A and B are shown apart, each in its own frame.
Chain A
Amino acid sequence: MALNGIAIFKLTPKKNCKECGCPTCMAFSMKVAQGAMTIDQCPHMSEDALATLSEASAPPMKTIKAGVKPFADNKNDSDKEYSLGGETVLFRHEKTFVNKTRYASTVCTCMDDAAVDARLASVSAIDYDRIGDRMYVEFVAVDCAEGTAPEKYAELVKKADAAGRSLILNVKDEACAKAAFDVCKDKKPILNAADASNYEAMSKLASDAGVVLGVSGASVDELYDTVAALEKLGNKNLILDLGTESVKSAFENAVLIRRAALKDSDRTFGYPSIVNVGKLASGDAHMQAALAALFTMKYGSIVIVEEMSYAMALPLYGLRQNLYTDPQKAPRIEPGIYPINGADENSVCLTTVDFALTYFLVSGELERSGVPCNLLISDAGGLSVLTSWAAGKFSSGSIAKYIQEFDIENKIKNRTLVIPGKVAVLKGDLESKLPGWNIVVGPTEAVQLVKFLKDMHNA
C-alpha cells in the first residue's frame, strides 16, 4: 500500500533538521512517498511511527546497492555506490524512473592476455560528459569459464579490478568465487552465481562478504522459487539474472518480473535485474547494441555487453539520459556559452532558450552548417522560444542581462548576435539595450539555420 506524502509528513518530527539530506521534512516525506528514499533515513523518527510506516511505505521493489563509484555521475551525485532497482512505475510518464540502467563490458578466463588488456583499455576509454552527466562503463563482468583454476580466476579479477570500475563476478564455482573475494570483496562486487543447485553455499559466501548475490533460474518459476528460498535464509540483497536461454525468454522475464513486483505487489520479485546481452548475441556487436537499447527501455538494471564501444555507447547513454528524466519537468540546458564547430572569440554569436529540445535542434543544425559560431544560452525558464517570450522569460531585458552577467563582451570580440526569427520583435529593443552590437534576425525554424549561416558566412 503506498502512502501519500502528507500522511507520512504527519508522522515525521517536523524539525527540518536536514540530517536526512532533504531541506525539509515535507520534502523528505514526498521522497518517501515516491519510493526514492526509505523512512529509516530519518534519524529522528519515533519507534511507533517507524513501525506504522515501514510496512506501508516499503517500496514494492528494493533498492540494492553495489560497487564503488570511481567518480560522481554528475555534480548533484554524492552516492558512493550504485543504486539499482527501487522503481515504482512501469512507464516513465507515470512517475520518474529513479535508478538508471548501468552497463558492463566483459572479460573472461577464456580470453588471452592481449585480448583482456585490449578489452580493459576499451572500458577506460569510454568516459565523456553529456549535458552534465559523466558517461562511462560502470562495471566489468568477469566470466569464469568452466574448469578454470581458482588462482587463475582470482588473477583475472585482480586485473579487471585495476581498471577502476566495479565488478560483476559471473562464476558458478565456489572455490573460484572465494578466491575472487580474497582480492576484491571490499570493492563490493556483485556475485552473480546462485541458482537452484548452489544457492545455499553462494548465499553464505555473499552474505559473509556483504555483497549482492545474483540469482538465475532455468525458468521464471525456478527463479522465483530460488529467490523465495534465499529470502527464507534471510538474504534480501539480491539481483535477478534474466537468463541467457533466448532473447525472447530474457525479455519475457524482464517484463514479467517487473510487472509482478510493481503491478501485483509480489515482493519476491521486487529486485533489480541483470541481463547479459553479450551472451544472448555473442560476437554480434550491432545486435548487442539493439538488445542493450531494448533492455534499457524495458527493465534491465544492469546490461552486460561483450565490449562497450563508442558507437554503442553514444546513442545508448543518450537514450538512458532521456528515459530517466522527470516527465513533469522540461529538460533544461545550463546557461552559458557553447562554442560550436571550433568557434573562438571572433565567431558570430547566436542566442536561443535553455529548453533542451530547442537547444538540441539548434545546436544540431549549427553543427551541420560547419560554420564556427557561439551559441549563447540564457536562463529562459526551460520553455520554448515563443512560450518563454510570452512568459517574459526571453526578452531583450533577459538577453541583455545575460550578456552582462556572463561577461560576454570581454569573452567574445565578435559583435553580431543572431536572435530567433520568432522573436524578431526584440530586435529594436535589443539594439538600444546592447549598444555596439549588430542584432540580426535569424530564421524562424532551426532547419533553415544551415542555409542562413552559410549565406551569412559567405557574404
Chain B
Amino acid sequence: MPFTKKLQKFNATIRTVELGTGEKAVKLGGGSTFPFYTFDGPTANPAKIGIEISDMGLENEPDCIKAFYEGCGSVAEIAKKAASFEGVDFVVLKLEGGDPNGADKPVEELVNVAKEVSEAIDLPLVVEGCKNVQKDAELLSKVAEALQGKNVLLLSAREEDYKNIAAAAGLAYDQLIGAESAVDINLAKQLNVLIKQLGVDLGKVVMNVGSAAAGYGFDYVISTMDRVRAAALGQADDSLLMPVITPVSSETWTVKEASASEEDAPGWGPVEERGIDMEVETAVACLTCGSDAVILKHPTSIATVSKMIQALS
C-alpha cells in the first residue's frame, strides 16, 4: 500500500501586514500553514529579517559588530550601512538612550535621530522604545507623529502603555503597532483585544509574544508561539491572527555563551562565532514555531538565516 500524504488544511489565514512604503515595503504574515510547511499549502510571504541598530551608535556593541560599521560617524550612517547587508529586509532602530536609568536622552533628541534614520534609508523602519513605560508612552507617540506617512512599526505597546502608544500609532498617525506580551498566549490575546477596543484596526497590529535566548527558558517561547499559531489557524481566532515579530539579538548577545571572552572561557573558541551561532540558532527556533519576522544584529547571522528561509520557501 503506497504512502498517502495527508495535508493539514486550515481555513484561517494570518493577516498580511505591510511595513514601509513604496518598492521596498515588506509584507509580514499571510500564511495559512505552520511555518515552512509549504507542502500543506502556499505560505504567502516568506519570513523577514530586521537589523538592529541603536541611537547610542556603536557604544554598547560587541567588537565584532563594531567592525562592520567602521567609518560610520552618525546613527544615520550606521543605518545606511545596516540596510546594505545581504538579507536585510528592514531596519530596527532601538532608542535605548531614552532610558531614564541610562543615558536619559530627551524625547526631542531621540525623535530627531529617528527622523534622520528614516531619511537615510529606503528600507522599512521599525522603531523600538527604551522599555521604560512612562518614557515610551511619550517617546513612541512623538516618533509616530514625526514619521507620518512612512508606515513604520512601533515596538512596543504593552499592557501598561498601550493606551498611549496604540492610540497614537494606530489611530492618530496611521502607523503600525507592535503588541508586546510576556510569553503567555492569554496575555497576548488579551492585549490584542484591548487594542481592538481602542478602535484600532487589527490589520495594523503585529505581535511580539516574547522571546529568550536558546537555553534560557526558551521552552516558554516555543510553547507560546506553537499555541498562538495553532489557535490562530485552527480556531480562526481573530484576536491571534496577527503576524509575529520576535526580537532575537537583544536576548542572545548578552548571555554568557555569546559574550564570555576567550580568556574567561578557554576551549569555547572565538567569541564572534559563538555570538553568531547563538543568534542564528535562536532565530531559527523562533521562525520554526511561528515568527513571521526576526530582529538580528550580526550580518553573517542575517545572511545565514535569510538563506535558510529562502531554501525552505
Contacts and interface: CB of A to CB of B under 8 A. Distances in A.
Contact of B281 (A228, A289, A327): A289
The secondary-structure label for the interface of chain B is helix
The secondary-structure label for the interface of chain A is helix
A327 B223 contact: yes
A224 B3 contact: yes
A149 interface: no
A321 B215 contact: yes
B214 A256 contact: no
Interface residues of B, number: 57
Interface in A295-323: 296-298, 309-312, 314-319, 321-323
B281 A292 contact: yes
A286 B288 contact: no
B267 A316 contact: no
B228 to A, nearest CB: 11
Contacts of B304: 284, 286-287, 289-290
A286 to B, nearest CB: 4
B2 interface: yes
A264 interface: yes
Interface string B1-25: 1111110100000000000000000
B195 to A, nearest CB: 25
B217 A315 contact: no
B267 A310 contact: yes
A331 B278 CA distance: 21
Interface size class of A (residues with CB under 8 A): 35 or more
Contact of A317 (B38, B215, B285): B215
B141 interface: no
A368 B256 CA distance: 8
B255 A92 contact: no
A92 B222 contact: yes
Which of A93, A256, A317, A322 lies at the interface centre, i.e. has the most chain B CB atoms within 10 A of its CB? A322
B1 A228 contact: yes
Interface string A268-307: 1100000000000000111101111110111000000000
A134 to B, nearest CB: 15
Nearest to B270: A311
Interface of A: 91-93, 125, 130, 220-221, 224-225, 228, 246-248, 251-252, 255-256, 259-260, 263-264, 266, 268-269, 284-287, 289-294, 296-298, 309-312, 314-319, 321-323, 325, 327, 331, 356-357, 360-361, 364, 367-368, 448, 451
Given A91-B223, A319-B281, 9 more contacts: A247-B312, A248-B312, A251-B36, A269-B3, A297-B284, A310-B274, A315-B278, A316-B277, A323-B218
5 contacts: A221-B3, A286-B301, A315-B252, A325-B219, A357-B220
